[in-house]
Each structure stands twice: as structure tokens, then as C-alpha cells.
Amino acid sequence: MTDTTGRYVFDEDDVVVTHEKSYAAGIPAVLVSLRRGMEQMGPVRTARTLWRLNQREGFDCPGCAWPETPGHRKHAEFCENGAKAVAEEATTRTVGPEFFAAHSVSDLLGRTEFWLGQQGRLTHPMVLLPGASYYEPIGWDAAFALIAGELRGLASPHEAVFYTSGRTSNEAAFVYQLMIRAFGTNNLPDCSNMCHESSGSALVETIGIGKGSVSVPDLENADLILIAGQNPGTNHPRMLSTLEKAKANGARVIAINPLPEAGLLRFKDPQKMHGVLGNGVQIADEFLQIRLGGDQALFQGLGRLLLEAEDRNPGTVLDREFIDTHTAGFEACAAHLRRVDLDTVVEATGLTLDQIRATADALIASRKTIICWAMGLTQHTHGVATIQDAVNLLLLQGMIGKPGAGVCPVRGHSNVQGDRTMGIWEKMPESFLAALDSEFGIVSPREHGLDAVDSIRAMRDGTASVFVGMGGNFVSATPDTETTEAALRGCALTVQVSTKLNRSHLVTGRTGLILPSLGRTDRDVQSGRKQQVSVEDSMSMVHLSRGSLTPAGAHLRSEVAIVCGIAQALFGPDHSVPWAEFTADYDRIRDSIARVIPGFEDFNRKVRRPDGFGLPHPPRDERRFETATGKANFTVNDLSWLPVPEGKLMLQTMRSHDQYNTTIYGLDDRYRGVKGGRRVLFISAQDLESLGYAAGDRVDLVSEWTRPDGTVQERRADDFRLVPYPTPVGNVAAYYPETNPLVPLEHVAAKSNTPVSKAVLIRLERRP
Ligand code: SF4
């Protein structure tokens, strides 16, 4: 429906609740994919665009980082949420100067992320001048000069922070970090700080590299796959096809999650007869409905049971040869695990001892085990320790560096892993910085920079005053919304390089800039030549992406061109880095990457192979561990879990099925049976009764954060409907960004500084 100005409007408070689904995908997925395409692109563009999605000569899906199927590509090599991601980006709707002339910033601040995103692609560089209420057009050169002037005016380069969203291509990420380091800071927060940072911290310490060690064929040939704290049906949907193959090959799947997510239970592949006419395939053989934050206790309990089974039948459970040859710290870890109290494990997990013993038996029976995980493990205070205890389990049985076995953190954004590989990290190793300096004749700073949480603190405290965002939606992706928004408003300048309108464009510094960039689906022509970019998926495979659509407007520029434009304005024409050449030919960027980053040698030739190429992974490839001990490290971790005080609830923030990170595709969380609105709280029938509420009641959510000094800080998110749902008693769930205001900035995971978005203690307040 459109309003009088022809803008799209939605009734976002017409919540309808039906039953949750027991299967993922199916024909509805096809229908929704086509409908969204038609709504945003029309029939021809929809067909042309989906035809090239994830194809060899096509473009990489801007959704998640699930890999392409090696070898043969299906015609429809995408899922429902991939089709939605493409429809969002390739929409024919546009947002240009006339839109901003019709809508003041304060008007737009009153709109939801869904409404903002549905308005279309940004087409012109826009500036919000100090004291102004409306954005106005600005020329590219003037925009670059404004940014360069502000940066050069800083007392220190460390007063600027440069954020990256995981959709940024390898080439753009590489020149971006290069510009930032040439400018003199390592302040490179990225979206990974909010999601898999705990995985990186845990894996670097234990196996020497922060990346998963398995491939798609490994998953298809595993004996046992544990899926913990992950909802593949919505967040990595094509993983279900891989799990279907694994099951056909005899694998057992055990799903560990507080919520019985449809994609963990059953998959109806709409490209298969049994997925259209039949009942599809059962995914999880066992569904363990664990309590929030109970995964570490489970992994430690399983470790104890494996050791006891080994004691009963020596040589039948542990891989002694692997432990003795390739690991360090076994004895201390084993001693710790033997002391784990199984009653505590039962209480912390909410599982029965039988369920825990059955899972241990499955591990013992397996010769090839993979553990997959996502935010349900990483966004906890003890996230790093939980993942290290999962690694302990795999090390006990030698499940690293063996086909069909290993660690599998399933990445979110399509190139979040690639960006990190390209240097988007506030604490890159000396080897990388030295290689960068010798390639470009610059002196990179050695002082570690700021991650996302520390960047918010710095802007809040006034020690940072320029924010540059390469894609993404920082305001809605980060915790403690009130604090984050105030921090950004305290800046002198905020710059957003974006494809679509979102709330971060409306929460600006004294001056705000919006720079419209090409998207993954767009044709990128530089100096008369079509350019191609590359991405790295969740399994370290690097491949090309070639956009083909006519851009939404003549004023859009590629991310590479925007970065190089800012750099040339900042450093002047005689800088040692060939910014203009980089813009004209991305092969030049790849040649430099080949000389700076191990594994990218001969990059331009290797990346042009049909499926691209795989990056080295020493633990997977050679059982070589570049850790402090030179071995795979067992770790001893104090057990943490989340008892819920009487009358309170533990909240996890999550995505709906109609959302990708902060991009809201629609208001239809089909799998959970909720549509028409997003301000809902999923709560168990027992908690509704014990707290004296009924289904549909409207409440405010109040989080209670106990500071280290013992004082309690409260935060509010108002007007949510209560939706009865099969969650563990005491555990509730709701969508972000609506519940990000409840997440305290100071509540972060140990070691990784990741916001704790899966364990927010709240109480309910009835609304009049
Ligand atoms: S699984 Fe992920 S990458 Fe693949 S099509 Fe779906 S959203 Fe895109």
C-alpha cells in the first residue's frame, strides 16, 4: 500500500499469531521468494537476477556466508532468504534528493527499520549540515574533501573510527584498511565484533586460527553433527541441503537450542519431489532443548562422560595418539572435567541425565564428529569458554585435521570472514602490518585499535569524534541503543557508505554524510572495464562475484572507488599508494593482496577458477597448530551458567525469519507463526501463568544490569505483546534491533568483548 506521496506504508502493529511450523522451506519458500521479487523488482528483473544468483559467472549472494556447492551448480542455487536479500538490494525503488526534501530527519527517526528499508536504493550523495533538519545533495568531490578536512583536523588519527559491515568485498576491505592504517590508526571495528568474535578468540587460542576447519564435503560425510546455538533454517538455509545429504550418507544430527526452530526439525527441499509432495527429511535425530547459556555445562558434562567411558574401556574412546602427538594441557583439562558435577550440568542445561548420556554415547560411537555453532554460543559472558569446551570435546577424540570432522562456526554476513582476512581487525598481527608496510611504503600503527564496543565508549567519552561506516547499520546492530545513539550524536562527523536507507543515516554527528554505493548485484564499470570482486565464505573458499544489473542511478560509486576517492582527498596526489590505479583495475588490488596476505599468492589466476580456491588452514590441512605451545591446546574453563531469579526472565535477542541482521525483509516470521508485527515476546505458557499474564497481554520489558559495584542499572523497551511459545521456563526471546536498548554496553563476553545479547535479565511491567 502507498501513501499520498506514493511512499510504501505498512501497518506494523497488526500482529497475528498462529502455530509454529515443524518444517523449513517447502513450496511456501518458493512462493515468498517470487512474491518478494515481484514486489521489489517486477517479473523480468526478478527472473534475470535470480538466474545469476550464486552462479559461476554470476554474483555472490549478499545474504549469509554459506558456501556454494562445489562442482555442479543447480539452476536455483539460492534459498528463500537469499532471494529476499537480492530483492532488497536489486529493488527498483529509489531514494533520492526529492525523498530527502520531503522527509525531515526527525520525521524519518519516527519510522521503523522496515519502513526505511522499503523505500529503496540510495541514489545521490547527501549531506546533513550542522543544525539542518533536511539532508541535501552534495557532490562527490565536495564530500571527499569534507571527510578529508575533518580527518586532517583531528588531534590524533585515533579520534576516528572506521566500521565495516561483513558485506564489503575483499578488494574494498583491503583498500579500506590500507587507507585507515596509512592514516595512522587501527580503529577498525566490524560486525564480527558483535557475532563470531568469541569464536575467533576461542579458536586462535586452542588451534591457532580463528576459522572453521571443515568443508561442505566434510559435513556431507560426517558420522555425527552437533548444531549448537544456531538456527540454520533462517540464517544459513542452504545448510539444510548439506544436512539432508549428510543424513542420506548416514550421519546423525543432534540439535541443541532453546527454541525448537523449524529448520532444526525438518526440511522440505522445494527442488525435490519429497520436499514438494512428501514430508521432506527429518533433520535432527535428537533435539536437546537447552536453557540459555547451558551449552558450556553440556560440553563439560559430555567431556566427563567420555573420560569415564574411556576408563571403563581404555583405548575405545579417546584418540590417545592424537592427544599425545598434537595436543598440550590434556592432564589438567581431564582432571577438571572429571570433577564436573552432573547434577549441576542437569540444572544448568535443563536437560535430563538420560539425554546427556545419550549424546555422550553418540559421540563415543562417532568416528567423524563436527560441531557447528553460531550466536547462541558466542553472545554470552562465557562464550569463549563455551567454545573452548566444545573444542576440548573434539580434541579428546582427535576430531581436528581429519576428513568429516572438526569445528564449524557458521558465519553470518556473506564476506565477514573475508574482511577479517583482508585486515579488518583492530589487532592484526605484526606479520600482516610488516607486509603491508613493505608493499606500500607506509608505517602502519602498531598500537591495537578499538572494536565496536570500545568505539562506542570512545565516542560516548568524546575521545573519538569521526565515525565512518562501510555498509551496515551501526546504530541498530549494536547494543545499548540509547548510549550508542548519544555517542554518535556527539561526533563532529558521521559518514555512512550504504545501498539502502536505515536508522544509522538519521543518528548523525554535527555533520552527516550518506554516500550511495553499488551493491553486489550491480554492474561495476571502472575506466570502461567491468570489474569483479571476491568474497570468502564460511569455509575459507574464495571466489569471484560479478554484478550485472544497471545501477539504481548514475551517481552511485563502488565501495573501492569511494575509499580511493576519500584517500586521494586525504593524502593528496603524491601518496605512495596507487589509489587511482586501484580504482581503475581491481586486478591491481588483488596483485597487492597476493604479496601481502599468505594463501593469496597468484590471486588473480586462482580466483578465476570455476569455484575459486581454498585458503590454507594448518590444523585441517596438516594438523599443524600455530598456537603459543605449537600444539592444539586443551583448556580448563570455570563453569558458568545462568540461573534465573524468581519473577525474572532471561531474554535472548534474535532474528525473525523475515530479517537479515538489521535488514527487515518483511513482517512474517513464518516458522514461528507470527506475522504483521515485530514487538512480540516469546514466552512459555508456564511463565505466563506463574507471572499472572495471558497471551496477547501488552507489557514493557525492563532489563536489570548489576554493575561491578553492585548498583543496578535499568533499561526499557516498551510495548511488546506476549506470545506463548515452547521456550524453556524462565527463558524468553524477542527480535533485535527492537530489544537492543535492553542490552547493556558494559555487559560483554570475557576475552572477546562481544555484547551479551543472549542473556539479558529482564522483568515485565504490565501496560495500562
Ligand atoms: S544460504 Fe545464505 S548465501 Fe546461500 S542463498 Fe541463502 S542467504 Fe544466500
Per-residue model confidence (pLDDT) at position 273: 94
State the pLDDT confidence band at 390, using cuts at 50, 70 and 90.
Answer: very high
Q: How far is the CA of 553 from the CAs of 120, 224, 506, 509, 560, in angstroms?
A: 12, 50, 22, 27, 17
What pLDDT, on the 0 to 100 scale, is given for residue 556?
A: 98
pLDDT of residue 72: 77
SS3 541: strand
Report CA(687)–ligand 1 centroid distance (Å): 36
pLDDT in tens, 350-368: 999 999 999 999 999 999 9
User: What mean pLDDT comes out for the span 480-493?
Assistant: 98
Is the previous residue joined to 737 through a cis bond, with omega within 30 degrees of 0?
A: yes
With bands split at pLDDT 50, 70 and 90, how would you rate the model's confidence at 13?
low
| 235 Cα–ligand 1 center, Å | 8
Indicate whether residue 66 lines ligand 1 (CB < 6 A).
Answer: yes
Mean pLDDT, range 260-265, rounded to an integer: 98
Sign of CA dihedral 723, 724, 726, 731: positive
Residue 75 pLDDT level (bands cut at 50, 70, 90): confident
Ligand 1 binding pocket includes 238 (Cβ within 6 Å) = yes
Q: Does pLDDT of 764 surpass 80?
A: yes
pLDDT digits (tens, 9 = 90+) for 619-653: 999 999 999 999 999 999 999 999 999 999 999 99
User: In the chain, what are the domain boundaries?
Assistant: 104-193+416-517+531-536+541-607, 197-409, 649-766
| Ligand 1 centre distance from Cα of residue 180 (Å) | 31
Q: Is the pLDDT of residue 329 over 80?
A: yes
Q: Whose CA is nearest to atom 7 of ligand 1?
A: 82
Cα-to-centroid distance, 153 and ligand 1 (Å): 43
Mutation to probe ligand 1, out of 238, 415, 537 (largest number of atoms < 8 A from CB): 238
**What is the pLDDT averaged over residues 14-18?**
87
Tell me the CA–centroid distance for residue 278 and ligand 1, in Å. Answer: 24
* Strand 252-256 with 286-288, pairing: parallel
Ligand 1, residue 54: give the atom nearest the CA.
5
Whether 8 shows a pLDDT value over 60: the answer reads no
Q: Using the predicted structure, report yes or no on whether residue 139 has a pLDDT greater than 60.
A: yes
- Write the residue with the smallest CA distance to atom 2 of ligand 1: 64
Q: Name the residue of 79, 230, 665 whose CB sits within 8 Å of the most ligand 1 atoms, as the mutation to test its pocket.
A: 79
**Does 390 sit in the ligand 1 pocket, CB within 6 Å?**
no
How confident is the model over 662-672, as pLDDT tens digits?
A: 999 999 999 99
pLDDT of residue 768: 81
User: What's the CATH number of domain 104-193+416-517+531-536+541-607, 3.20.20.70, 3.40.50.740, 3.30.365.10, 3.40.50.1820?
Assistant: 3.40.50.740
Averaged pLDDT of the chain: 96
C-alpha cell at 428: 592484526
Tell me what pLDDT residue 571 has: 98
The position carrying cell 543515516 is: 505
pLDDT at 1 (0 to 100): 46
pLDDT(69) > 90: no
Question: What does the pLDDT look like over 555-591, one tens digit per residue?
Answer: 999 999 999 999 999 999 999 999 999 999 999 999 9
CA of 63 to the centre of ligand 1 (A): 5
CA 68 / ligand 1 centre spacing (Å): 9
| Matching CATH number, 649-766, of 2.120.10.30, 2.40.70.10, 2.40.40.20, 3.40.50.2000 | 2.40.40.20
Q: Per-residue pLDDT for 2 more than 60?
A: no
Cβ–Cβ under 8 Å, residues 389 and 303: yes
**From the candidate CATH numbers 3.30.70.120, 3.50.50.60, 3.30.160.270, 3.40.228.10, the one assigned to the domain spanning 197-409:** 3.40.228.10
> Are the C-beta atoms of 201 and 751 separated by less than 8 Å?
yes
User: Does residue 228 line the site of ligand 1, with CB under 6 A?
Assistant: no
251 ligand 1 Cβ < 6 A:
no
DSSP assignment of 77-108: ---HHHHHHHHHHS-S-EE-HHHHHHS-HHHH
| Residue 11 banded pLDDT, cuts 50, 70, 90 | low
Return the C-alpha cell found at 143.
Answer: 564530500
Give me the mean pLDDT over the 511-519 stretch: 98
Closest-lying ligand 1 atom to the alpha carbon of residue 81: 7
- Please work out whether the CB of residue 61 comes within 6 Å of at least one atom of ligand 1: yes
Q: Residue 306 phi/psi, 5° resolution? A: -65, -40
Query: In b/e form, how buried is each residue of 467-479, taking b as 16+ CB within 10 angstroms?
Result: bbbbbbbbbbbbb
Atom of ligand 1 nearest to the CA of 78: 5
Nearest residue to 370 (alpha-carbon basis) of 292, 208, 253: 253
pTM summary value: 0.97
